[in-house]
Chain A
Amino acid sequence: ETGVTQSPTHLIKTRGQQVTLRCSSQSGHNTVSWYQQALGQGPQFIFQYYREEENGRGNFPPRFSGLQFPNYSSELNVNALELDDSALYLCASSSRVWNTEAFFGQGTRLTVV
């Protein structure tokens, strides 16, 4: 069991709506990354947050945005939901120290109908 928790575990939204997913990082970690995992695929990097600032982004449009709070927890916001946004959203917690592990939460399963 990692100390990384995500909420909610499941979510159903309608196309065009907005959604907020939450992640609390493991104790001692100051970096949170978000990944999208479509069915049957590996996770794809969305972005990383460090010291409350976005610190790298993958190939995702601006309607995917995030926040990191002073306690290092993080939110992922997705606006104008599309059917293709249906996926498992994973957050990963790590430190800035090179070659140390990234630990993942259990994920949020988002279904867009």
Chain B
Amino acid sequence: SQQGEEDPQALSIQEGENATMNCSYKTSINNLQWYRQNSGRGLVHLILIRSNEREKHSGRLRVTLDTSKKSSSLLITASRAADTASYFCATDVGPYNNNDMRFGAGTRLTVKP
């Protein structure tokens, strides 16, 4: 069953603007990972944040995690047309590393040139 829920479902912005996507989940997690997917192809790993971390950066990406609110956000700064994709959060809830990762339905981001 799915546990993550991304918000908004779709987001359309102009190139150069920032994009913020949110993820909420229901149960305790070991970590949370964000992925990008282009046009129904494979998932590209973006960033992993552990349950004891609050913020993490990678290039133009900034991820926050609030375990008390069971939520995470992904910020993409200075967006580019190439950032157009679907973005998913995945919560690791299983008894072993990456065992039974739960995904939401994703946020569809469109960046207009």
B2 touches A42 (CB 8 A): yes
Instruction: Say which residue of B35, B41, B48, B106 sits within 8 Å of A99 (CB atoms).
Output: B48
Instruction: Say which residue of B40, B42, B45, B101 sits within 8 Å of A33 (CB atoms).
Output: B101
Q: Mostly helix, strand, loop or mixed at chain A's interface? A: loop
Q: Mark B8-33, 1 if CB is under 8 A from A, else 0.
A: 00000000000000000000001101
With A42-B4, A42-B104 as known contacts, state yes or no: A102 contacts B42, CB within 8 Å: no
- Seen from chain B, the residues whose Cβ lies within 8 Å of a Cβ on chain A are 1-2, 4, 30-31, 33, 35, 40-45, 48, 50, 88, 90, 92, 94-106
- The CA-CA distance from A102 to B92 in the complex, in Å, is 10
With A42-B88, A96-B96 as known contacts, state yes or no: A101 contacts B45, CB within 8 Å: yes
With A90-B42, A106-B41 as known contacts, state yes or no: A45 contacts B101, CB within 8 Å: yes
B96 touches A43 (CB 8 A): no
Q: Mostly helix, strand, loop or mixed at chain B's interface? A: loop
Q: List, in ascending order, chain A residues with CB within 8 A of B4's CB.
A: 42
Query: Is A66 in the interface zone, CB < 8 Å from B?
Result: no
Q: List, in ascending order, chain A residues with CB within 8 A of B105's CB.
A: 40-42
A104 touches B95 (CB 8 A): no
Give the total number of A-B pairs whose CB atoms are below 8 A apart: 93
B42 touches A31 (CB 8 A): no
A55 touches B96 (CB 8 A): yes
Besides A99-B50, A101-B98, A104-B35, 20 more A-B contacts (Cβ < 8 Å) are A2-B45, A42-B106, A43-B103, A45-B100, A48-B94, A48-B96, A56-B94, A56-B99, A56-B100, A94-B98, A95-B97, A96-B97, A99-B48, A100-B98, A102-B90, A102-B101, A103-B45, A104-B42, A107-B40, A107-B42
